[in-house]
């Protein structure tokens, strides 16, 4: 029998999502995060390596 949580906050509703749903969410999230990272590093790399 699963142990009851010590605190409700330890089990957000996402813990009840299916593993497939979690995986899909993580994949989409990582793709979006990589876009943000590319914009951050891309702008600075352009300025650093190619001047203006």
Cβ contact 52:43 at 8 Å: no
The CA-atom distances, in angstroms, between 18 and each of 5, 21, 23, 25 are 19, 5, 9, 11
Nearer to another protein, 16 or 19 (CB): 16
In angstroms, what is the minimal distance from the CB of 19 to another protein? Answer: 14
Cβ closest to another protein, residue 14 vs residue 19: 14
**What is the distance between the alpha carbons of residues 8 and 20, in angstroms, rounded to a whole number?**
23
**Binding interface with another protein (CB under 8 A):** 1-2, 4-5, 7-9, 11-14, 16, 21, 24-25, 28-29, 32-33, 35-37, 39-41, 43-44, 47, 52
């Amino acid at each position: 029998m699963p142990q009851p949580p010590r605190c409700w906050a330890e089990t957000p509703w996402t813990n009840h999502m299916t593993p497939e749903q979690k995986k899909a969410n993580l994949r989409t999230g990582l793709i979006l995060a990589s876009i943000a990272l590319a914009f951050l590093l891309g702008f600075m790399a352009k300025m650093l390596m190619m001047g203006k």
